Structure 1
């Protein structure tokens, strides 16, 4: 089903965080949203999931106006539109299995949820989700004992338990080293390709957006300033999204790279060298 944003706007006092965004996304696309901090990326995703209310405009999924939903209908949308956060949002003291099973809460009665009763079928689903993400061996560990990359995979498994029609990921690899970032992005692409689920993910790295997303939306100052395939993301388009440095030069794409192997040419300057060393240190951590 087609997903559409019509003149979607969000204001915080006098500040406009998202400014009249018009986007149409067909079912099954993998879309990367890029832009500088404060460009409106996270606010946009939170409005789609209805964690943040639009100031004006509307959100549509098929023949349903998502921005008008209330009560049980809104909870059903938040079940169908799963959200993955940069901070993982797991319950650290609970074991991994239980954290994953929490993704079933909006599919169950209030009584069963309060009593924490899960069916055998739901437990089989949870194990299958963990196996798919290669972390089934952690099922009985407290979630707080896992690495950041493992916790993000648990969060993805929990989202899969919602059997969503759309998957939103808000900076899912921002706190991960390059190797774990690749594992997480591979998992999101696999879900997109195998299930045909629309995936919209905010990213702070251009190379990740180019490599994983069939469509890229660039935001600046709350507005969409680029919308197209990775091949159309030219140097001028990148400059429009990210602006210029203090000297008026364009943005060096290596500054937004998570690649483990950064080309030698990319670390010829002092600034790029600093970034390269930082990422290589992260890769060894």
Structure 2
């Protein structure tokens, strides 16, 4: 269980996240939606402890992760893997080495300084790449891959952490629809097969509806919607995205991709039954 207890984050006079309180059970696949600047990325970064809350506390399995320091913080960031929009790979290193970097918080400082990885770790990394259908790129420099391939390498690196929780910050924002679908399929597969909780910020409603069994909508740093996809009504969308300059409701077409969400099968997720989105 991940518990976010009245967490806020201020940058000077600006409040990016405002008294957010959430409980997320093990095995859910959660999509966080909202306008740019709604506080989505700040919330994920506080969960991962890349930044600290100004107020409130974050707990996982009853332990306050917002109080972790030193070794306990490193262990939390191992257990709580982060996937970024811009991949955060080392372009000059080969793909296999980039994936192996996911083991750093499992190893001694001496082994990390020497850059020595065991045969078992290399086999594990190749297995992660094979699972994501990019094992053929293992010896290529990461910087030579397409955006979609790089994001799959980043997910493989996250798997190497053997995490309890995966946070994905706009993982498909810079990808074309085909690669976006491959990446989202990969995250959903991890959620289903391993039962790992996945929390992902998304800028498209159709993707959130198609892949997530729980959707959280943020506006102005606050949670204004929290429920299953079928409850994300026109009124709820207006709460999240507001109105346009003429006071009219925001068209969902503005927030949609050309991912063929209507073709996704109805599946059993690790958290609950996920109904495929059948259109607007």
Scaled by the length of structure 1, the TM-score of the pair is 0.91
Structure 1 CA distance for aligned equivalents of residues 259 and 27 of structure 2: 29
Post-superposition shift, 1:261?
6.1
- Mapping for residues 1-285 of structure 1, pairs under 5 Å: 2-260=1-259
* 1:242-284 Cα distance to aligned partner (Å, 9 max, x none): 0101111101111111125699xxxxxxxxxxxxxxxxxxxxx
Runs of 4+ in 1 over 4 A off after TM superposition: 260-263
Q: Distance in 2 between matches of 1:257 and 1:156?
A: 23
Secondary structure, counterpart of 2:154 in structure 1: helix
Q: Secondary structure at the match of 2:16?
A: strand
How far, CA to CA, are the matches of 1:148 and 1:62 in structure 2? 35
2-structure distance, mates of 1:30, 1:24: 13
Maintained 8 Å contact 2:167/2:199: yes
Post-superposition Cα deviations, 1:41-71, rounded to whole Å, max 9, x if no partner, equal: 0000000000011001000001210001100
SS at match of 2:100: helix
SS in 1 for 2:157: helix
Q: Deviations over 1:202-221 (max 9, x none)?
A: 00000000000000000000
Deviations 1:115-153 (A, max 9, x none): 100000000000000000000000000000000000000
TM-score of the two chains, using structure 2 as the length reference? 0.92
Partners in 2 of 1:150 and 1:262 — Cα distance? 21
Task: Give me the whole-angstrom Cα distance separating, in 1, the residues matched to 2:215 and 2:127.
Answer: 31
Classify 1:260/1:54 alpha carbon distance in 2 versus 1 (closer, same or farther; 3 Å).
Answer: closer
Distance 2:99 2:73 in 1: 22
- Give unmatched runs, 5+ long, in structure 1: 264-285
Report the secondary structure of 1:73's partner residue.
helix
CA deviation vs aligned residue, 1:65-91 (integer Å, no higher than 9, x gap): 000110000000000000000000000
Structure 1: distance between partners of 2:41 and 2:25 = 21
Q: Tell me the distance in 2 between the aligned counterparts of 1:65 and 1:93.
A: 37
Alpha-carbon distance in 2 for matches of 1:235, 1:114: 54
- Please name the residue that 2:268 is paired with: none
